Amino acid sequence: MADIQSVYSSDGENIYGRLEKGDDLLEGILEVCDSHGISAGSFSCIGSLEKVGILQIGEKDGDIGYTEPIYINKPVEILSGTGFIGRDLEGEMDIHFHGLFVDINGQISGGHFIRGKNPTLVTMEFIVHTAKDVNLQRKTDESWNLPVFQFFQGDDY
């Protein structure tokens, strides 16, 4: 992965930066968080991707869940993207990110981005809003049987 440019704001609440060509969007954000000691927060970004890998919410056999992966193998620009940073079911760093993007033909789409499937084309500018006294931990939601972030104050989780 290329060098990622990122700086902590003087108030200690935000990280500003950018990913470079080839950096995966979600892996890059996780790397930035790791390098700054961040384990929970949210982020937003704009920029361009070489290609896109997403899921979309759907229904199959009467159950709510995600579609099979959808791959768009052409350049796109992210018009808006927002995500949460926390821990997965095994306690590893994880991201939940949804984005809206446009292709060269003006077709707009979006969805739930897949980790490792969204390489930066030119640049991806981001801001991470840190959460020093909040923890996000995925747990299986009993209603939907899907792993979703649960929010906890301090070290309670």
DSSP summary character for residue 35? H
User: Helix (H) and strand (E) counts for the chain?
Assistant: 1, 13
For residue 63, name the pLDDT band (cuts at 50, 70, 90). confident
Sole residue written with tokens 């446009």: 102
- What pLDDT, on the 0 to 100 scale, is given for residue 141? 87
CA atoms of 151 and 96, how far apart (whole Å)? 13
Q: Evaluate if residue 70 carries a pLDDT over 90.
A: yes
β-pair partners for 7: 16
- What pLDDT, on the 0 to 100 scale, is given for residue 1? 46
Give the chain's domains with CATH numbers: 5-153 (3.30.1330.80)
- What pLDDT, on the 0 to 100 scale, is given for residue 43? 97
Closest by alpha carbon to 126, among 48, 53, 50?
48
Q: Evaluate if residue 30 carries a pLDDT over 80.
A: yes
| Residue 42 CB neighbour total at 10 angstroms | 19
Q: What percent of the chain clears pLDDT 90, i.e. is strictly above it? A: 76
For residue 157, name the pLDDT band (cuts at 50, 70, 90). low
